[in-house]
Structure 1
């Protein structure tokens, strides 16, 4: 009646169900660990963006280095800043252009978290039913064995029903962490997206108040020389 014994005595269909659910559980835990580490790193990056956007963070142009989220978002915004305001472009439109560029870079980085999340949702929704299928199949085999042996004693019935119910237990073991992790990761991702968009808006507003870009200043000096 051990777990290994229940697995070894199960019908081949029930064994296949147990193996599939066990593999799904392992994959889910791998996704949970990987996404948790990734979200932790992105949280630190977005904190850097919020610090750069905070009042009094410095009047100089940010100098993004590296390939992280904060660096990519800052590069997207400062690229538009250096282009300067176009002729006839209002300050609001200029700020919106920088903010749009930073939000686009932010969305691209956050989309890297999304692969794997649908698997968690699918496992959480489907695993209990797969386990239930294994249970129903196992109980059907148990009743068939009872009919053949003409013995309804508990010693005959219990092993088959136990191994059948074991499939449902594995389905729940796979589904419950998957559902909890999926909801938790979605909440964390939503908070990071909101914080990142807020930082992008503040950075765009800050950059739009700063002096013209080097390109615009160079064009002004050339025009004055002529």
Structure 2
């Protein structure tokens, strides 16, 4: 017996892809800009590595904290909405069934079929049906704070590790240039990969990330050169 055909769409990867690429981009840009700025201030080589390490740890924790707080707020909102919907189901299930049928009518079903679908789905899982079709909450979209925080911290750390490694291995006089080149190349690859997987044009994705990253490192270098000491 043949199994049902399961389609895969690019849109299904956009959520995790965007979060992973954003975290890695932040890690590369912020850490690279930080080290380049300090290098332009003529700091010692050991100070550059320490700056990069501190930037990695601080940035990863900042990303994790921000993501945890944000997604926790979303989770609290979802729980409150589900509790309210459950109370409405307990108070007047018939009215909630008519409301669900109305949603299906607006999506294109005739009233008779919409009523049958609403009745069948509510008999199977009333709260789940209303959560999915009325509130837009499903297992795929449900907020997971710890998972989001860990993913953000890991992706940021992975990105920040690149300029940190370059700073540790490159001679001091080549640190700024080495970080700038490797960071821009890596960011261009990430931008192109994200665009390709998402089905968008690769060129604009590369240009956007390259331009803003170069601007960030350029400004950081200018600040270091202006306020640094020989």
After TM superposition, the score normalised by the length of structure 2 is 0.40
User: Which one has more relative contact order, counting CA pairs under 8 Å at least 6 apart?
Assistant: 2
- Structure of larger gyration radius: 1
After TM superposition, the score normalised by the length of structure 1 is 0.41
